[in-house]
């Protein structure tokens, strides 16, 4: 089964339809780092990352990884090897901090966009993460916690997401 992001505020999986939010500047077929657009296409999902100090491990068939204070997601376009990958935060290398003070990354699932043959500057750190108010994102897909927890029960490691 495939998750469908139908438009800027609707995500569908099986018989479930969830309200969601996407990138502030809508969708793009030619994503660029920092453009605040959600990439169009069909992609696999990665693991579930969660804040064990705030949340319990949810029921899911995905591999589950605890977010630690030193974890980041490299968005540094000068880092050929580390770009768009989970890293241990290092001074001098730009990365998205996964251990945030807000709630957004209490649960997150990376979307495997720009993944296998990573192209520098074509976008990184595209996640499904939490939202409280459906405010637009920097390119990710935001869901309310209750909806993300339902989705996590249903999806598997071979589930894809199709962003229209």
Q: Which domains does the chain show, CATH number per domain?
A: 2-163 (2.40.440.10)
Spell out the SS3 assignment of the chain. Answer: CEEEEEECCEEEECCEEEECECECCCEECCCCCCCCCEECEEEEECCEEECCCCCCCCCCCCCEEECCCCEEEECCCCCCCCCCCEEECCCCCCEEECCCCCCCCCEEEEECCCCCCCCCCCCCCCEEEECCCCCCECCCEEECHHHHHHHHHHCCCCCEEEEC
The predicted model scores a pTM of: 0.96
Rounded to whole angstroms, the Cα distance separating 13 from 8 reads 15
Per-residue pLDDT of the chain (164 residues), as tens digits, is 999 999 999 999 999 999 999 999 999 999 999 999 999 999 999 999 999 999 999 999 999 999 999 999 999 999 999 999 999 999 999 999 999 999 999 999 999 999 999 999 999 999 999 999 999 999 999 999 999 999 999 999 999 999 99
């Amino acid at each position: 089964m495939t998750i469908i992001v139908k438009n800027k505020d609707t995500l569908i999986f099986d018989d479930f339809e969830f309200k969601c939010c996407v990138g502030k500047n809508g969708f793009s077929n030619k994503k660029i780092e920092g453009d605040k657009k959600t990439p169009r296409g069909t992609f696999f999902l990665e693991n579930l990352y969660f804040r064990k100090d705030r949340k319990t491990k949810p029921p899911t068939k995905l591999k589950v990884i605890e977010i630690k204070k030193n974890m980041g997601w490299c968005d540094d376009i000068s880092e050929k090897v580390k770009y768009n990958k989970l890293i241990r935060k290092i001074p001098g290398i730009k990365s998205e901090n996964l251990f945030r003070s807000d709630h957004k990354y209490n649960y997150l699932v990376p979307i495997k966009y720009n993944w296998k043959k990573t192209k520098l500057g074509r976008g990184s750190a595209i996640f499904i993460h939490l939202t409280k108010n459906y405010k637009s994102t920097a390119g990710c897909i935001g869901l309310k916690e209750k909806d993300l927890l339902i989705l996590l029960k249903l999806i598997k490691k071979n589930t894809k997401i199709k962003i229209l």
